Structure 1
């Protein structure tokens, strides 16, 4: 399992705490320091069935000056912009060993991750 985190993020700290409490092993990726490639971000999005703008953090996206149309023609532009400023990527993103990938910001999603990984 891999979790993309920003250590300053409360939701990321909660997710790590829950995984640790459940004794679940994971690889931590501090995605602000170890920035995903456009191919990695695209693969994560594909596994979630989402588009880049679906996981863009609104405030950070505005601050980064990303003002692109939300359509297939601009998907690669979104990916490039988000990789150029990874603060814009929602977190924490967890990929389970079976490839299932989620944004674990809410208690229900995080609980599901813990149940599935602990099985």
Structure 2
């Protein structure tokens, strides 16, 4: 599977991540996370491949997260409900997400990118 990059053009962290990928010659398929978020099935695969807890995929500092009061609601939701919610609005997703079917990075930390994509 090709490397897929989900980011948001106005996001500073996404721009840093994209710059890192470009600077290291990493080829990827780019998706605007707001206009074209991953669907529920794709999200399940990404979460599974990442080995991370599902709550790590929520953009907890985002306006939409606060508007929906998710801090208090996530604990009551099933994983299926969380996946459907994340798939419904890309702005709820922590970004960028970079995945190739086996490896996944969420957010941007240079050391993690080096280990995964370097």
Normalising by the smaller structure, the TM-score range is 0.7 to 0.9
Say yes or no: does 1:70 pair with 2:38. Answer: no
Aligned mate of 1:86, from 72, 83, 90: 90
Aligned to 1:37: 39
Aligned to 2:110: 107
Separation (CA, whole Å) in 2 of partners of 1:63 and 1:26: 32
**TM-score of the superposed pair, with normalisation by structure 1:** 0.81
Separation (CA, whole Å) in 2 of partners of 1:15 and 1:54: 18
**TM-score of the superposed pair, with normalisation by structure 2:** 0.82
State whether residues 104 and 110 of structure 1, in contact with CA within 8 Å, keep that contact through their aligned partners in structure 2: no
| C-alpha deviation, 1:69, in angstroms | 4.0
State whether residues 6 and 37 of structure 2, in contact with CA within 8 Å, keep that contact through their aligned partners in structure 1: no
| C-alpha deviation, 1:90, in angstroms | 0.6
Superposition RMSD in Å: 1.9
Residue-pair matches, total:
113
What are the ranges of 5 or more consecutive residues in structure 2 without an aligned counterpart?
none
- Residue deviations 1:27-73 (CA, integer Å, cap 9, x gap): 111121112111111111111122332221113322233343437x6
